Chain A
Amino acid sequence: MSQHATATPPATETHQEPSYLAVSNVTKRFGAATVLDTLSLSVGRAEFVSLLGPSGCGKTTLLRLIAGLLAPDQGAIEVGGRDLTRVAAHKRNIGVVFQNYALFPHLTVAENIAYGLRAKGVPKAEQARKVENALGLVRMEAFADRAVTALSGGQQQRIAVARAVVVEPSLLLLDEPFSALDRKLRETMQIELRHILRNLGITSIFVTHDQDEALVMSDRIAVMNEGRIEHLGTPSEVYARPKSLYTMEFVGQSSRITGVVKGSSESLVEIDTPFGMIRAPGHFLTGSKVVVGVRPEAIAAGEGPAGEYNTVRGTVAEVIYFGSRTLLHFQTAQEGDRLHVELNRLPDTVEPGSAMTLRWRVDDSRVFPAPTEAAR
């Protein structure tokens, strides 16, 4: 059970050419703080990869290193087989969509989009044609001559995307581009942007701290923590088979049950927990302290066949009603351990204090080594 990220991505059919972008053993320090620690990442051509993590995990630093806006202390960055580690940002042909869009306030919408074309010496007539295409791509044709400062957040976002893709970059980097938009607009823009980038076939690296955004948009997600990649995988791999407790808890909801391994057979371990004996797939030495993680939607009410299911009894601590579903919290003796259960239909009468029987598939339990005291 490796707790930390491995350099090579798991082989999936989505990337035949696994290293269009290759970040190898990159380290970046700011003063005494190591922000990125020998980090490696490979991304296939036309792939959409999200860097997901809390603020301060190094995801924006990694983005700036790839863009050439920062230089790594160690390691190398290659795109399409070309070593870019010491190449200046303006010679990399890597597009960036910034968090606040960074549109040029003294230029109109069309001038903003033409900026990169002009810098690259594209002839005037071709500039005009490409700007028009780019405006059409983001459905902003009517705004060509407006001042960018007169646009709303969503409109500015579209122009920022158009400006970045019009120069046909070899790689597109997006730094939390939706964070300034309200929820409804954000959801629309996520789907639209993904659609645009798919059609253009641009390899994209997307930085976000929003797990839902990462799950919705990505081909693969790199979950980052303290300057390292904890887990790199498809959204379903990251969600359903997280490689670490950190990934399990950062991506999606989960319950945490601490316990001690009492025995193991073949590929199953038996764990003594405050809820009783729980079985889970994995290999651990008898006596090791572990944490069992379960997704709330994997848990159902009532008993199941003993061979395939873990069955526990618990006392309801809280009932949280969401309309389409209900979340129940179950108490245990262990401080901090709470079993979160998500039910689509509430059985008869459930209120705090009532006892319930719950079950989940043995295969749906994930076991991780218990975090050491120092790490918590």
Chain B
Amino acid sequence: MTLARDDLAVPPTPVSRWQFDAKALIAAPGLVFMALAFAVPVLMLVGDSFVDSQGLSLAGYRKVLGDPYYIGIIGNSLQLACITTAVCLAVGYPAAWALARIKGVWQVVLFALIFLPLTVSVVVKTFGLTIMMRRDGIINFLLVNLGFIERPMRLVFTEFSLYFGMVNVFLPFMILPLYSVMRMLDPRLMDASASLGAGPLHTFLRVTLPLTMPGVIAGGTLVFSISVAAYVTPGLLVGDRFMTMSQVMAKAYLNIRDFQLGASMAVIMLVISAALILASSYLVRSPGGEKH
């Protein structure tokens, strides 16, 4: 019965921080691939953003950060990402909780319902949504025939359809990190809280939420950083009425052939995502996240 003698645990051998560990070599194939497929293009992109036909210039950044039109587009993207993340969190948190607490066949069913849509292409899903939301689509058909509205209303190409579609696409990316944290959460902590006189709300705010915060931060970061760069869904569901940063980039490269503009926008987006990821990894480590 020496199980609980954690004071007898062998302390890890002190290793100099920069001492080379041969185990790192196993990551070499992945690193080489990422260097070729990600690091090189990104560096080229960053380079492009500082160069125009005359040579070195900041014209791209001046354009993007100085023109209210482009500032508005950055605002659009941030707004889109914020609302998508918030709705995904609100909808995904209880779903992840159910997934982590349910057992047996129902867990399999829930898993399938939540993650099977990931196997369908975003384009297919989004087109499906537009068909559903058309004037003669099933939603309008139901609303009219059930007497909620007089005439079919406009759903496609509205911001509502955009958020609806975004949450549809990105919800699994919120649920998965939340689920993995909640699965590790000892249900007896909630029992202990109740036995100490704490009601469900107090338990949620003081125990459940702080302990699942790493999942909230991870899921939030993931959904935010991919939805801020969303291209297909906004393009198909609202088009030019709601321009996002990705659409500006695509236009700059494909239509107006202003490579510096596209590259500058890309670098700004990269900075937003990188800042968010750095901030979230700091948050997870600081008090409020897990203590060590």
**A residues whose Cβ falls under 8 Å from a Cβ of B:** 67-69, 88-96, 98, 100, 102-106, 115-116, 118-120, 147, 149, 152-154, 163-164, 167, 173, 180-183, 186
Count how many pairs of residues, one from A and one from B, have CB atoms less than 8 Å apart in the complex.
99
User: Is B120 an interface residue, CB under 8 A from the partner?
Assistant: no
- State A118–B207 Cα separation when bound (angstroms): 13
Residues of A within 8 A of B5 (CB): 152-153, 182
In the complex formed, the residue of A with least CB distance to B288 is: A106
Evaluate whether A105 and B191 lie within 8 angstroms (CB atoms) in the complex, with A116-B197, A163-B196 already known: no
| B193, A67: Cβ atoms closer than 8 Å | no
| B191, A89: Cβ atoms closer than 8 Å | yes
Evaluate whether A100 and B186 lie within 8 angstroms (CB atoms) in the complex, with A105-B290, A115-B206, A149-B291 already known: yes
User: Is B202 an interface residue, CB under 8 A from the partner?
Assistant: yes
**B residues whose Cβ falls under 8 Å from a Cβ of A:** 1-7, 186, 188-189, 191-200, 202-203, 206-207, 210-211, 288, 290-292
Evaluate whether A104 and B189 lie within 8 angstroms (CB atoms) in the complex, with A147-B291, A182-B5 already known: yes
Evaluate whether A102 and B197 lie within 8 angstroms (CB atoms) in the complex, with A69-B191, A152-B5 already known: no
Most chain A beta-carbon contacts within 10 A, residue among B5, B7, B192: B192
B193 to chain A, nearest CB (A): 7
In the complex formed, the residue of B with least CB distance to A166 is: B196
In the complex, the 10 A-B pairs of residues with the closest C-beta atoms, listed nearest first: A153-B4, A116-B196, A119-B198, A89-B194, A102-B192, A102-B188, A96-B195, A180-B4, A90-B194, A182-B1
| A98, B202: Cβ atoms closer than 8 Å | no
Residues of A within 8 A of B202 (CB): 119
| B196, A98: Cβ atoms closer than 8 Å | no
- State A357–B200 Cα separation when bound (angstroms): 67
Q: What are 11 of the A-B contact pairs (CB < 8 Å)?
A: A67-B191, A90-B199, A90-B203, A100-B188, A106-B211, A106-B290, A115-B193, A115-B196, A149-B292, A181-B4, A183-B1
- State A149–B211 Cα separation when bound (angstroms): 14
Residues of A within 8 A of B191 (CB): 67, 69, 89, 96, 98, 102
| B198, A115: Cβ atoms closer than 8 Å | yes
Residues of A within 8 A of B207 (CB): 104
Residues of A within 8 A of B193 (CB): 90, 104, 115, 119
A104 to chain B, nearest CB (A): 6
Residues of B within 8 A of A69 (CB): 191, 194-195
| B195, A67: Cβ atoms closer than 8 Å | yes
Other-chain contact of B195, A94, A100, A183 (Cβ < 8 Å):
A94
- State A27–B91 Cα separation when bound (angstroms): 38
| B186, A102: Cβ atoms closer than 8 Å | yes
